[in-house]
Amino acid sequence: MLNIFFWLILLIIVFSHFTGLYLDYLNNRMWSDDVPEKLNGIIDNDKYRLSQQYYRENTGFSNIASSFSLVLVLLMLTLAGFAFVDHIARSISSNEIIVTLLFFGIISIASDILKIPFSLYGTFRIEEKYGFNKTTPQIFLSDHIKGWLLAIIIGGPILAFVTWIYYKTGDMFWVYIWIVMTLFSLFMNMFYSELIVPIFNKQKPLEEGELRNEIEKMAKTAQFKLTDIYTIDGSKRSTKANAYFSGLGKKKRIVLYDTLSNDLTNEEIVAVLAHEIGHYKMRHTRMMLFAGIIQTGLMLFIFSLFAENELLHRALGTEKNSFHISLIAFVLIYSPVSLILSIAMNYISRKNEFKADEFAKKAYSGKLLASALKKLSVKNLSNMIPHPIYVFFYYSHPPLLERLRNLE
């Protein structure tokens, strides 16, 4: 029997989908045939038109993929698909932990298989067409297999433990699960680059030379204790360039994509790293980690208020109270709250980006950072004039022009 939660879930996922389509429409309206005056000196006409084509093709394809996902979820809801998967899992085992693992395993594998054609097209058609793709079919297949193995080896035991907590600890289950998720988050923040990244990419210490000397000189000026600087073979998958900062305390690490040197001078790379160091020095990394932990706790608390609600289970076509059905239904209902929190987190993140830019400006050079940002935006065919509403909803970084004004 359909109930209020069924219709609420239906309304939320349909509204969210069409809101996303409308925001993409607003973004597309920002484009023009010729380079806007405010982008003069940053990008030429040919490159600007190419970036428009790239964005529109990516957006159109993304909308097709998201519409396909919407149809699948609607079918799962209206045809009691989640209840069917639950029935399959229970026909194999009566143990609730095993049932949960089987349920999410079936959902995850089926979802991934259905998404593979979209991933193949995006990688080997769109990214290839615009000169970004370096992924081979062998790497593509290997990445998927490794992802599945990691899900089994790491995700499986954690899900099993969380499920055990749910059934054994009563109404306060959310507190214990929050503690487990917090410890896991801290562990991954500290050891992700050492344990997970090497499974997919090769990392090696940055060799002695002009670039390393310049980085160490900047770090000393910024009063930053530099420990590890690594390069990563990002070029095996894409020509796009990046750099990031990972880890906490003694485990902090600066990682440079090997593609950076193809597009930026040594001084521009150092300016980008000064920005990343700014995040650490100004405690943005820890602040965002803490905010994420609080957000997880809030989500789990709200989940605890709904977990035993029979209407929630019936909305997905089941009568039996179970952790996995409660969680699936809750995630679908929670999306508006998640969007609001995401908007707030993105707002804070954009403010932090401005502050990190200012740090780089003082510690090294705002002019060189601005030059690097321009080159990377042009190279990656970024959307340089996004709609303000789209930025408000989705952007964790300020648009290029805003960052350049801040660096003047």
Q: Which residues are catalytic?
A: 276, 357
Rounded to the nearest angstrom, the gap between the alpha carbon of residue 78 and the centroid of all alpha carbons in its chain is 30
Which one-letter DSSP state was computed for residue 248? Answer: S
d(CA 51, CA 31): 10
Residue 80 token pair: 């009691």
Q: Are 267 and 302 in contact (CB under 8 A)?
A: no
Among candidate residues 1, 121, 126, 139, the one with its CA nearest the CA of residue 68: 121
Half-sphere exposure of 152 (CA within 13 A, CB side): 9
Measured CA distances, 324 to 91, 102, 120, 398 (Å): 16, 10, 30, 38
Structure tokens at 97: 């932990």
CA distance 267 to 214: 8
Distance, C-alpha 215 to centroid of its chain: 28
CB within 8 A of 340, min separation 6: which ones? Answer: none
Residue reference for tokens 């957000």:
295
> C-alpha distances in angstroms, 237 versus 128, 139, 140, 143, 330?
11, 8, 9, 11, 36
Helix (H, G, I), strand (E, B) or coil at 309: coil
CA 193/CA 246 separation, integer angstroms:
7
Neighbours of 351 (CB within 10 A): 12
Task: Pick the closest to residue 262 from 295, 297, 231, 293 (CA basis).
Answer: 231
3-state DSSP helix/strand/coil percent for the chain, to nearest 5? 75, 5, 20
Q: How many CB atoms lie within 10 A of CB 2?
A: 12
What are 229's strand-pairing partners? 254
Q: In angstroms, rounded to a whole number, what is the distance separating the alpha carbons of residues 129 and 141?
A: 20
